[in-house]
Amino acid sequence: MTSVAGRRAPARVGDPVAAIDTPALVIDLDAMERNLAAMAAFAHAQGLRLRPHAKTHKSAAIAQLQRAAGAVGVCVQKLSEAEALAEQGVPDLYISNEIVDPAKLARVAVLAGRVRLAIAVDSHLGIDRLAAALKAEGTEVDVFVEIDVGQGRCGVAPADAGALALRVVSHGLRWAGLQAYHGGAQHLRSAAERKAAIEHAAGAVRAAKASLALAGLACPLVTGAGTGTFALEAASGLWGELQCGSYVFMDRDYADNHLGPEPLGAAPVAFEHALFVKSQVISVGAAHAVVDAGHKSHAIDSGMPKVWQGGFEFRNGGDEHGILTPVLHTEPGAAALPSLGDTVWLIPGHCDPTVNLHGSYVGVRGGLAQGVVETVWPVDARGCLT
Amino acid sequence: MTSVAGRRAPARVGDPVAAIDTPALVIDLDAMERNLAAMAAFAHAQGLRLRPHAKTHKSAAIAQLQRAAGAVGVCVQKLSEAEALAEQGVPDLYISNEIVDPAKLARVAVLAGRVRLAIAVDSHLGIDRLAAALKAEGTEVDVFVEIDVGQGRCGVAPADAGALALRVVSHGLRWAGLQAYHGGAQHLRSAAERKAAIEHAAGAVRAAKASLALAGLACPLVTGAGTGTFALEAASGLWGELQCGSYVFMDRDYADNHLGPEPLGAAPVAFEHALFVKSQVISVGAAHAVVDAGHKSHAIDSGMPKVWQGGFEFRNGGDEHGILTPVLHTEPGAAALPSLGDTVWLIPGHCDPTVNLHGSYVGVRGGLAQGVVETVWPVDARGCLT
C-alpha cells in the first residue's frame, strides 16, 4: 500500500473500486472536474476573479487544478494551511482570516518571501503587529480589511473600514480591499432567505466603500462569497472575487439548499456530489446494519451523511460506526438490509471537516460502481490548525 | 519547532505555557496522572483486570503509562489503530470491534505474529473468515463474542452467544469470552438511568452465559464497561475486565453526568479534566470575542466545549472559530470580554474525536497557568480509520 504521511493509504493507483479499504475518502474525479469547469466558466462569464477556498480540500493537487482552470490562487483559513500548500508549490495564497499572535505573524512574514501572500485584518493591533513583522523580515503582503456583513463573527462594522484601511496605508502596507464573506448565508435553505442575507451584505459593502471614500481611499477589490450564494454576490456588481470552496465536492448540506430563481437570469450552475466516504457493513442485526464509518470518518456538525444508494437512513452510531435502517416509506421490498461485507457509499454532511479527518484522497475514474483508482493524493494541509 | 508526523508541533519541551501555539491539544500531566492512578486503584481494589480503551488517546506513550499502572493491555476500535500502537511497542491489544473484510483479516493475522492480539466477532461469516486468515498465517488471537447489551449496534442477541462460541471453538480458535459494552449507557445523565441500563446489560450477560452453558462452554471472561458506568459493572460481579477510556482525560460530556449513590458503597471515583484545547482571541466585537478554535480543533458531536476560565459561553463559530459571549447571569462586571491575543482554555465536549483532530499532545507540568511543557507526544493512531 502507498504510504502517505506515515499512514497506509486505503488504495493503490490502478486498484478497482472494490479493492479500496474502508472507510476511505473517495473522489469521483469525473464529477469533480465538471464542478471545477462549471465554476470556472461562471466566473469567466461574469468577468470575476475566482479564488477558491482551499479550507475545503486542503490539497495542493486540487489547488493546482483550480489554478489551471483559471483561478488566480486560493484562500486558506490558517497560516499553517498556507505553509503546507506553499511547500507543495501553490504560489498565491490568501489567509482570509485574522492573525494577531506575533510569533505567527513572524511566520507570515517569512512565508511572504516565498509566495504571493494576502491576509485579512480587523483590528488596529493586528495591523500594527503585521506591519512590525513584515518590516523585520523585509517582505510584503496584500492586506484586506474584513467587515462584518451579517455573520456576526470577525470583521469590523462597515463604518470603521476607512479608519482601518488608513492604518494599513499609514504603515506602507499593500492596501488590497475588503474581505466580505457571509458564512451564515450559505446554508439558509430558501432562495429568498439567501437573497435577503446577501442584500444585507451588499449594503454593508456599500457602507464600507463609503467609509473608505470618506477616508480618501479607493477600494481595489471586494472578495468573498461561497457556494450557497455566489450568484447573488456576482449579480450585485460589488464583489470582484469569489471564494467558493465546497462547489468542488458538494456535500449533503449544500445539496439540501432549495434552488430559486437565478439572480442572473441564466440556468442555475449545478454541482454534483463528487466526494464520498466508502464504508463497509461489518454487522447486521434483525432490523439494522452497521457500517465501519462513524463520525471519526465524516463530520456531523451539519448533520448525518446521506446514503448514496438510497433506501436507508444513516443514524449516528458513534465515533466508528454508522447504523443503517430502511427508509420506511419506500416501496415494499425495496429496502432489504445490506449484507455483511457490502459497500455503502456515504455523502458527507459537510465536506470541509470531513476531508480534515483523512490522510489521503482516493481519486476514482469511471464512476463509483466500475471505476479504477487513478490517483492517491495526500490531504496536504490536514490538521493544519495553527 | 519539533516536527511530529511531518507537521510543526505547537510547542517544544521546556517552553512556558504562554509559548504554546494555538490551537493546541494540551494535557495537564498532573491531573492525568491522578486520573490514571485513581482508575488503577479502583480496578485493583475490586480484583478486576483493567484494559483501558486507547480509542480515547491513540497514544503509545499513554498506553504504556496505563500498563505501568497495572493495565493488562489496551483496547482499540480499528485494526489500523492496533497496527500503529504495535509499531510503537504496545504489546497487548484487543480490537473490541468486528472485522469481516478478508484483506483486513489477513493483516490481523500478520499483526498477531507480532503482539498478543484479541478481536470481537458477531457473525458466523466473520468467524469463518478470521479462522481462514489465521490458518493461512499460522497465528492465533483471543476471540470474544460480542453480545448486544442494550446499545442496539453490533453484537448478537444473548441467546445466540452459545452458537457463535461453538463456531469459534470448532475452528480451534482461542475462545476468550464475551464482549459486553453498553456505549449508550455512558452518558445517561442520571445515576438511576445508568443503573437501570447496566442492570439490563447484566441481564443480557447472564442470558449469554446461560447460552454458553447450554452449549457446554465456560465463559473465561466478560469484558466491557466505560467511564460513565464502570462501578456498576464492577458491582454486578459479572464483568472481569474494565475497558474505560475517557477517565484519562474527562471531557465536558462526562462531567455533565450527575453522580449518584455509589453501587459499591465507597466514595465515588473522581476524575479531573486533564485535556484542553488552548485557543487565542483573534477578533473582538462589540459584544463577543472570537477565538481561533472551531470544530476542526475540537469535536462537537457531544456539544460545545466549555470555557475553562468560566464566565463565557462558547458558541459554534464554524470550522475554525469559536464565539465567546459573557454568561449573563454572572455577577455584574465579572464577564468583561477578553482582549485580542488572550488565551482561552477549552474543555472539549468529547475527548476521543477531539484527540483525533490533532497531530500531537503538548504535556504540561505544573498547571495551565504557570506550567512548563514537559513532553510533546504524537497522536500515534490519529486518523487510523481502517
Tens digits of residue pLDDT in B31-71: 999 999 999 999 999 999 999 999 999 999 999 999 999 99
The reply to whether B100 touches chain A by the CB within 8 Å rule is yes
The reply to whether B322 touches chain A by the CB within 8 Å rule is no
Residues of B in contact with A7 (CB under 8 A): 80, 383-384
Query: What's the pLDDT tens digit per position in A188-204?
Result: 999 999 999 999 999 99
Residue B270: what pLDDT?
85
Nearest CB neighbour to B80, from listed A8, A316, A382: A8
The reply to whether A282 touches chain B by the CB within 8 Å rule is yes
What letter represents residue A97's amino acid? N
Chain position carrying cell 464566565: B311
What is the dihedral angle through the alpha carbons of A385, B3, B6, B10, rounded to the nearest 10 degrees? -10
Query: What's the pLDDT tens digit per position in A263-313?
Result: 665 567 889 999 999 999 999 999 999 999 999 999 999 999 999 988 999
Closest-CA residue to B227 (of B262, B186, B178): B186
Nearest CB neighbour to A290, from listed B101, B153, B282: B153
Residue A103: what pLDDT?
97
Output phi, psi for B178, to 5 deg.
-110, 135
3-state secondary structure of B314: strand
Chain position carrying cell 460506526: A321
Low-confidence ranges of chain A (pLDDT < 50): 1-6
Residues of B in contact with A98 (CB under 8 A): 282-283, 290
CA angle B267, B272, B275 (to 5 degrees): 160
The reply to whether B152 touches chain A by the CB within 8 Å rule is yes
Q: Are the beta carbons of B142 and B131 closer than 8 angstroms? A: no
Residues of B in contact with A77 (CB under 8 A): 319-320
- What is the spatial distance between Cα B353 and Cα B355, in angstroms, rounded to a whole number? 5
Residue B2: what pLDDT?
38
A100/B288 CB distance under 8 A: no
The reply to whether B356 touches chain A by the CB within 8 Å rule is yes
Low-confidence ranges of chain B (pLDDT < 70): 1-7, 261-267, 329-335
The reply to whether A352 touches chain B by the CB within 8 Å rule is yes
- Return the CATH architecture of domain A29-251: Alpha-Beta Barrel (3.20)
Nearest CB neighbour to B352, from listed A126, A317, A319: A319
Mapped to the 3 state alphabet, what secondary structure does A94-120 carry? Answer: EECCCCCCHHHHHHHHHHCCCCEEEEE
Nearest CB neighbour to B7, from listed A155, A284, A383: A383
| Min distance B297 CA to chain A CA atoms (Å) | 7
Residues of B in contact with A317 (CB under 8 A): 153
Residue B259: what pLDDT?
80
Q: What percent of chain A has pLDDT over 70?
A: 94
- Concatenate the DSSP letters of all residues of A59-72 into one string: -HHHHHHHHHTT--
B residues 37-56 closer than 8 Å to A (CB) = 55
The reply to whether B300 touches chain A by the CB within 8 Å rule is yes
CATH no. for B31-249: 3.20.20.10
Nearest CB neighbour to B383, from listed A103, A154, A359: A359
- Closest Cα in chain A to B151: A317
B23/A352 CB distance under 8 A: no
Q: Where in chain A is the domain with CATH 2.40.37.20?
A: 3-26+272-378
Residue B327: what pLDDT?
87
Residues of B in contact with A183 (CB under 8 A): 318
Nearest CB neighbour to B296, from listed A7, A23, A356: A356
| The three three-digit cell numbers of residue B372, written as one number | 512548563
Question: Please, which residues bridge with residue B313 across strands?
Answer: B325
How many angstroms from the chain centroid is the CA of residue B292? 26
The reply to whether A128 touches chain B by the CB within 8 Å rule is no
Residue A329: what pLDDT?
60
Going by the DSSP 8-state scheme, the letter that residue A186 receives in this structure is T
Pairing of strands B241-242, B49-50: parallel
Closest-CA residue to B278 (of B4, B14, B21, B11): B21
3-state secondary structure of B28: strand
**Alpha-carbon torsion (B167, B173, B174, B178), positive or negative:** negative
Q: Are the beta carbons of A101 and B280 closer than 8 angstroms? A: yes
A residues 64-93 closer than 8 Å to B (CB) = 77-78, 80, 83
What letter represents residue B384's amino acid? C
Residue A260: what pLDDT?
72
Residue A328: what pLDDT?
73
Query: What's the pLDDT tens digit per position in B168-195?
Result: 999 999 999 999 999 999 999 999 999 9
Closest-CA residue to A349 (of B147, B30, B300, B82): B300
The reply to whether A7 touches chain B by the CB within 8 Å rule is yes
Residues of B in contact with A300 (CB under 8 A): 301
CATH 2.40.37.20 fits A3-26+272-378, yes or no: yes
Residue A269: what pLDDT?
82
Residues of A in contact with B321 (CB under 8 A): 153-154
- Closest Cα in chain A to B357: A383
- What is the spatial distance between Cα A183 and Cα A246, in angstroms, rounded to a whole number? 12
Residues of B in contact with A358 (CB under 8 A): 383, 385
Closest-CA residue to A41 (of A70, A62, A68, A65): A70
Residue A259: what pLDDT?
80
- What is the spatial distance between Cα A95 and Cα A75, in angstroms, rounded to a whole number? 6
Residue B288: what pLDDT?
96
Distances (CA, A) of B14 to B8, B19, B62, B374, B375: 16, 10, 20, 6, 8
Residues of A in contact with B285 (CB under 8 A): 148, 152
- What is the spatial distance between Cα A12 and Cα A308, in angstroms, rounded to a whole number? 24
- What is the spatial distance between Cα A32 and Cα A248, in angstroms, rounded to a whole number? 6
Q: Are the beta carbons of A242 and A227 closer than 8 angstroms? A: no
Q: What is the ipTM of this complex?
A: 0.95
Distances (CA, A) of A256 to A56, A315, A348: 18, 18, 12
Residue B6: what pLDDT?
47
Q: Where in chain B is the domain with CATH 3.20.20.10?
A: 31-249
Chain position carrying cell 478481536: B119
Nearest CB neighbour to B353, from listed A280, A296, A352: A296
The reply to whether A303 touches chain B by the CB within 8 Å rule is no
B residues 101-120 closer than 8 Å to A (CB) = 101, 103-104
Distances (CA, A) of A282 to A22, A289, B47: 11, 8, 34
B297/A321 CB distance under 8 A: no
B353/A290 CB distance under 8 A: no
Q: Are the beta carbons of B194 and B228 closer than 8 angstroms? A: yes
- What is the spatial distance between Cα A223 and Cα A239, in angstroms, rounded to a whole number? 6
| Min distance B269 CA to chain A CA atoms (Å) | 25
